[in-house]
Structure formats: C-alpha cells, structure tokens
Amino acid sequence: MAIQDIYPTALRLLGRSVLVVGGGPVAARRAKGLLDAGARVTVVAPLACPALAELSDAGLLEWEPRTYRASDVDGAWFIQTATGEPGVDAQVSADAEAQRIWCVNASDHESSAAWTPAVAVVDDVKIAVNAGGDPRRAMALRDAVATALETGDLPLRRHRDLRQRGSVALVGGGPGDAGLITVRGRRLLGQADVVVADRLGPRELLAELGPDVRIIEVGKTPGHHPVPQSGINRILVDEAVLGNRVVRLKGGDPYVLGRGGEEAEFCRQHGVDVEVVPGVTSAISVPAAAGIPVTHRGLAKGFSVVTGHEELSEVPARADHTVILLMGVGQLRESAASLAHAGLPAGTPVGIVENGYLPNQRVTIGTLGTIADQAEAAGVANPAVIVIGDVVRVSPFAPSNFKTADYGTASPNAPRPARPAKNRVLTP
C-alpha cells in the first residue's frame, strides 16, 4: 500500500461498538486509545496481559477469554487486530472486509484496510502521523510536531469562531532575551488574539505573531505613563469579554513589582478567567548576566528587592545582605546616601547592569561612595538593575582590588592573589 492510497480522516467512535482481537501489550495500547475516544470496546483473546486485564477488571471493557470466531465482527463499527499471529489477523481482516467494516491489521500493514497513526494531543489539537508504515518514524515526527506546538514554535491559535470564552494570561517575559521566556508563556503567546505589551520584555517575539494578532502598546517610561494602570485593567477585561484570548506580556515576572496582582484581581472581579505565568525576574537574572549572584556562600545569605530610596530604611544596611534596586537610576544618589546614613560602609561594592542579556548590555562597577558620580558620568539609564553588597566582588567585571578572596565552592573566601579584571566597563 502506497501512502498516496491513504485518505486521512478522523473517526467519532463515542458510544460505538469496537472489536479488538488479541490480548497482548499492543492490544492493550489500542484498547486504551479506543476507550479514550469513548468507544464501547470488546476484546477477544484466550489470554490477557496485565494492562488489559486491569481494564477489564475495572469494567471499562468487555473481555471474551477465548479464540476468535467469525461472528465476532457482527455489529462492530471498527476492528483492531493484534494477536501476533498473521493467520488469525488475516482472517479477522477478511471477515471485516466481507461486512465492509474498517479493520486495522497489525500483522500486515501493506494489506490493512486502515492504519493507526502515531497520535499526540496538545490542548484541543490532536496530531496524527502516518509515515509509510514506519511506526518509529511516525512517532518521531509526532513528537517533534507536539514539541513545536507546546513551545510555541508552531501556532496553536484558533482562527474559526467557536464561540470561545475569552481569557487573560499574565505572562512574565523575562529580562528581554527571547530565549528566557518560559515554554508556557511562549505557547500562550502563540495562541493569543490580542497582546497587551510592555516596553520591556521579549519584544522580538511580537514580530513573529500573525498579521491579524492585535498588539496594544501600554509601555511605561520613567515619568511617562501613556496608559494608566486602571486603563490597562479595563483593556484586559474588555478584550476578554469580546471572546479574545488576551496575553498581557510583561518584562520579568508579573508578580514581582509588575502589578500583576492588581490585574489578576480586576479580571476575577469581572468574571474573566485569568492565568498567571511566572517569568524570570530581572531582579535576579539581570545581575546574573553580569556574573553577580544575589546570594553566595560566605558573602550573602539573603537579599532585598526595592524600587526606591524611601524603602531602604527597612532593609539591613550590611554588605553581607544584598540590596537590589529596580528602576532606581534616577534616585541612585539619594539611595546611596540613605544606605551610607544607615551605616553601610562607603567601600561597599555596587554594580549596575543596563539592558541585561541584550546586545547593548553594559556593566558599571564601583562603590557606594563613588557609584553615583560614575553613573552620571557614563550616562547610565534605565532599564537597569543596581546591586549593592559584597556579592558584586564575584563578578568577572569587578576590578582586581575587589577580588581579595577565592569565591569558589571548594574553599570559599580563602585569600588569593589579585588578578587583572577583564571586560569590565567602568571601575572606581
């Protein structure tokens, strides 16, 4: 049988009688798939493997513990042979053919009237692959297509109006690199009808969306909020009420200083289904882009994330407690002064990472006493993450005089000779 002779279709077997002849593992797998499709399954086989016996004991199918009879095909809508005996399978197939019943002959795919494809399900999409009678090839192709759908490389978006109920997904896009969005977030983005986008996050993914996907820009810059938060909340609900799948694409994590909680609560108050997809928060990932861990054995056991100098009075003013400032460039001088007033030494290391993970990433490293002047001279601007504490010493961008110890795992903080730093951008 040539692949050109196959007419792909899908059978609705809900409530219909189906016959499986055979009692081994293949028969069990086929019976399970038929049960999943809602068929009424009868198995004819002298013996049943444990998996098949369990289905029978649970009352999910009827097992006739005997050899096959020609009359077994009577009244069946569909038949699957899997005895492992070519002669028996051929007889079942011939009896089915005589009554014009579609039959899969597991022993001889060339003469079989029907083929069973390799199947996978992703959301409400069922993938079925035939590969010229080569089951391993079919399974490999099936898995590749399923993975591409799950990761968003292939679109899952609906294009036919199925009177779907609208929904909102608050998706954390990570620090900006398209490769750092989660698999779930990428998948939902590929299903979206409407994307409500921030200025930060994986912007290049927007260019991959279909031409009929609407993108609503609500990005904010310091001191300029063209769409207030109340307006964003209303956009999400209004678009979902129209039946759209809405993705609110944010930078970082929607629940880390991203007002995701406010948006989720507003959706729930208005009866809109909402899903929150965590993202890689810039508070941790952007320092990592510059080789700065927010905690490190022997240097820091904890960290605090704040957005402005007014919160700094609430965090420990110690070099062994990492302070991470988000959106803090404009108030950097005031923040440094607040921490110094609280007792943090002027020589405490400070690192600023602009545009983390992007091609124009830049790292500025100094001390609490010098960093404001350095940032002003260099024209440091948001988006940037500021890290304050001894963990900055670990960065490969740190100047050599910062690296007075071995920060490895084997002998943490053992003294070591200072080595020239490479690739640092600014130093004190």
387 HSE (CA, 13 A, CB side): 35
Enter the tokens of residue 390: 């001894």
Alpha carbons 239 and 232: distance in angstroms, whole number: 11
Considering the candidates 72, 177, 193, 198, report the single residue annotated as catalytic. Answer: 198
Please report the DSSP string for 191-228 in residue order.
H-SEEEE-SSS-GGGGGGS-TTSEEEE---BTTB-SS-
Burial of residue 312, with CB atoms counted within 10 A of its CB: 0-12 exposed, 13-18 middle, 19 or more buried = buried
Q: How does DSSP classify residue 146?
A: H
In this structure, the number of other CB atoms found within 10 A of the CB of residue 187 comes to 23
**What single-letter amino acid sits at 403?**
K
Verify whether residue 220 is a known catalytic residue.
Answer: yes
Task: Provide CB contacts within 8 A for 25, sequence distance 6+.
Answer: 49, 51
Considering the candidates 32, 143, 220, 238, report the single residue annotated as catalytic. Answer: 220
Verify whether residue 250 is a known catalytic residue.
Answer: no
In this structure, the number of other CB atoms found within 10 A of the CB of residue 404 comes to 13
Which residues are marked as active site? 198, 220
